Amino acid sequence: MAQESRGEKRGYLHEDFRLFHIRDRRALELDYHYHEFDKIVVFLSGKVTYLMEGKSYFLAPYDILLVSRDQIHRPVIDTSEPYERVVLWMNTSFLAENSFEDGDLFRCFKLARERGFALLRLEANERFALMRCLKETEDALSSKEFAHDLLARVNFLRFLIELNRVAYGDQTSLKTDAYRSDPRLNDVIAYINANLDGDLSLDALCAKFFISKSHLMHRFKELAGCTAHGYIRQKRLLRASELIRAGATVSEACARSGFGDYSAFLKAFKSMFGCVPSELG
């Protein structure tokens, strides 16, 4: 299990997409974690609360959770009932190659980021169309018939098209029984992500938002699923990795992601990514 002070990258994706249909009662000991690809969770049954970026989502059957790449999240699972879900991992290049001017397959994830809300609770007619595409994708992936891989891709793209259509007019954020959040904590998290190169000490955050340190620490742990320090450090490291991949030098990435101590940055980077910055692929 990861240390509390940092998140953990889970899973590696080399294919265009992967589909997992899982049903179990296991008490998964998951710390808060992130992925370097976009993920969709289609919840089918069980008792599960998803903690993600300062919100607690209370999942109901056929809910869809949009987990954008690099977002910190953690499921809290009640093992009194079987937990069934379909999890989809998507390669960024696959979505980009199949997106067009009038059909941006990233739109659902972009909307989730803009709204600060990642849950879709489907109407009956929306549920039928999406679940049909998903079932046909799963069937094609398990088939051995002619062109089954191609058929799986076609059905998966149909699923994404239907999903993006649903996401555009979604109103789940108005359903107060679907989630819990703290407006002040949401403001703090938004400020952190917009100012990763600034002073994000607890003292500075508490002074800016007129919050006591104990209250901020408690609410962060409760709703974000991690400590404020752990969240900030992980977001800064993710920012540094993006800058390095974009061509920044290691020292530039260190400074622009808010690390004042270069040696501490190198140690934290290796701890999180398993390599030194110059080896980042």
d(CA 237, CA 253): 9
What are the pLDDT tens digits along the chain (281 aa)? 233 333 455 556 678 999 999 998 776 555 677 888 899 999 999 999 999 988 999 999 999 999 998 888 888 899 899 999 999 999 999 999 999 988 999 999 999 998 999 999 999 889 999 999 999 999 999 999 999 999 999 999 999 999 999 999 999 998 989 999 998 999 999 999 999 999 999 999 999 999 999 999 998 888 877 889 988 998 999 899 889 988 889 999 999 999 988 899 999 888 888 888 887 75
Contact 173, 115 (CB under 8 A): yes
Q: 8-178 with 182-276: one CATH topology?
A: no
pTM of the model: 0.84
What's the 3-state SS for the chain? CCCCCCCEECCCCCCCEEEEEEEECCCCCCCCEECCCEEEEEEEECEEEEEECCEEEECCCCCEEEECCCCCEEEEEECCCCEEEEEEEECHHHHHHCCECCECCCHHHHHHHHHCCCEECCCHHHHHHHHHHHHHHHHHHHCCCCCHHHHHHHHHHHHHHHHHHHHHCCCHHHCHHHEEECHHHHHHHHHHHHCCCCCCCHHHHHHHHCCCHHHHHHHHHHHHCCCHHHHHHHHHHHHHHHHHHCCCCHHHHHHHCCCCCHHHHHHHHHHHHCCCHHHCC
Residue 276 pLDDT: 85
Dihedral through CA 96, CA 97, CA 100, CA 105, nearest 10? -40
pLDDT, tens digit, 9 for 90 and up, residues 13-71:
678 999 999 998 776 555 677 888 899 999 999 999 999 988 999 999 999 999 998 88
- Which two structure tokens, joined as six digits, stand for 56? 């607690």
Residue type, 128: F
Residue 7 pLDDT: 47
Burial label, 41 (beta-carbon count in 10 A; 0-12, 13-18, 19+): buried
Look at the alpha carbons of 47, 142, 137, 32 in this order and tell me if their dihedral is positive or negative.
positive
Residue type, 218: H
Residue 5 pLDDT: 35
Contact 73, 225 (CB under 8 A): yes
Residue 198 pLDDT: 92
Dihedral through CA 183, CA 186, CA 191, CA 194, nearest 10? -140
Residue 10 pLDDT: 56
d(CA 36, CA 90): 10
Burial label, 109 (beta-carbon count in 10 A; 0-12, 13-18, 19+): buried
Q: Does the domain made of 182-276 have the CATH classification 1.10.10.60?
A: yes
- Which two structure tokens, joined as six digits, stand for 150? 């191609």
Domain regions of the chain by residue span: 8-178, 182-276
Q: Does the domain made of 8-178 have the CATH classification 2.60.120.280?
A: yes
The separation between CA 59 and the C-alpha centre of its own chain, rounded to angstroms, equals 15
Residue 31 pLDDT: 66
Residue 3 pLDDT: 33
